[in-house]
Structure 1
Amino acid sequence: MGRGRVQLKRIENKISRQVTFSKRRTGLLKKAHEISVLCDADVALIVFSTKGKLFEYSTHSSMDAILERYERYSYAEKLLTAPEAETHGNWTLESSKLRTKIEVLEKNIRHYVGEDLEPLNLRELQSIEQQLDSALKRVRTKKNQVMHVSISELHKKERVLQEQNNALSKKLKENEKSNEQLNAGFPLSHRQVAPPPPPPPPTQTPHLVPLAIGSNRPFYGGSVIRQDDSARAHTISAGMMPPWLLRHINE
């Protein structure tokens, strides 16, 4: 004979009930994980024990996101099925939920900035500290990434400027070398040479040179005296000559 259907009912034995709860809870969490992986589904599982202890499971998305999605869908279904008389009450309930959520968020913000910490117990303070530590680690990680990116960009700019400087230096040297070769191909007369200084002016006082004997072309100051000035030069120098020389010149 096959086994009959077992009737489900509360286990009266406390120990057996606790053992069954532990086994079935583990199996339930395992099945939730399997269906989320095999079917790519968003699964959220919440279990409270008889003592009020919480056991939960959610997929890669957070539990809050799944619950918010559930509330949106359930509220949309209620709007479609509920009469108009209940619509106003639903909106009132939704607004009260939103106000409560805003108050909780504002309270958390005050706690994060170090305000209104007196009513918190040790466990709540430790939770806030862990959240701040994790947020600080994320901020530091992001800051280090931004710093590394900025430093790499500065290094790139430095390399570009160095390459431009080297190119300009090379071009300047090439220009100097080409100028030297161009000047070397021209003769000295075509080069840019400074003109020599002008000669000093001649002295204004001429000197007398004795007349050459037997010559009718007297000299004055190193130059030939003209014919019209020969008589005057002969008269000037006659008084300075001896008589025998004058007789010889007149003959």
Structure 2
Amino acid sequence: MERILERYERNAYVEQQLVTNDAELQGCWSLEYPNLKSRIEVLEKNIRNFMGGDLEPLSLRELQYLEQQIDTSLKRLRNRKNQLTHESISDLQKRERALQDQNNMLAKKLKEKERTLTEQQNQMAQNSSPLMPTFPSLTIGGNIQVMMRGSVIDEPDENQTRQNMRSTVVPWWMHDHVNHS
């Protein structure tokens, strides 16, 4: 029960503090309001003057001061614009260098992979050569020519057969067979 009462007293005390703070804030705001209102009016008048309105009631000094403020603001804007442009150019140059480096690195990797692939293909070609001996090709030109002309296959001329035999490479094991036929 004591705990409940202690919690109640603490919460009641916190509420009293909040009410007291609200009253103090209300007093501060009521004092601040006129100052803030006059400040807003001055700023709105300056904005109208900067935009070119309400210039007739201004004196020569006020106009010169306004012109000086506009010039100063314009210089600041130009300086800031130039600074941002230079920063942007610098960032773009850094990005260009990084991309160029990345491009060079990728080109090196590509060349290395091409070189490795070429070496592997050469090794495979060298390794496969002893396993698979190359055989001379057997070409029979006379029969192909007759079939291409579309005519009936007749016995070829003896001169034509000899010419085909001279130009055609025949393996050694078929040599006797070709001579006997």
> What range describes the TM-score normalised by the shorter chain of this pair?
0.5 to 0.7
The structure 2 residue matched to 1:112, chosen from 40, 50, 60, is 50
1:146 is aligned to 2:84: yes
Q: Aligned partner of 1:205: which letter?
A: D
Aligned length: 123
Structure 1 unaligned residues grouped into runs of 5+: 1-78, 81-86, 210-221, 224-251
RMSD over aligned Cα, in angstroms? 3.8
In the alignment, which residue of structure 1 is the partner of 2:155?
Answer: 206
4+ runs deviating over 6 angstroms: none
Q: Aligned partner of 2:66: which letter?
A: I
* TM-score of the pair, normalised by structure 2: 0.53
Q: Aligned partner of 2:102: which letter?
A: Q
1:177 and 1:207 map into 2 onto residues whose CA distance is: 53
**SS at 2:154's partner residue?**
coil
Deviation at 1:154, TM superposition (A): 0.5
- What are the Cα deviations for residues 113-170 of structure 1, in whole angstroms up to 9, with x where unaligned? 1111111121110001111122222222222221122111111110111011111211
1:158 is aligned to 2:107: no
* Larger Rg belongs to: 1
> Which structure has more RCO (C-alpha within 8 Å, separation ≥ 6)?
2
**For 1:1-251, what aligned pairs fall within 5 Å after superposition?**
91=30, 95-185=33-123, 186-187=125-126, 189=129, 199-200=140-141, 201=143, 204-206=153-155, 223=181
In proportion to residue count, which structure has more helix?
2
Structure 2 unaligned residues grouped into runs of 5+: 1-22, 147-152, 159-179
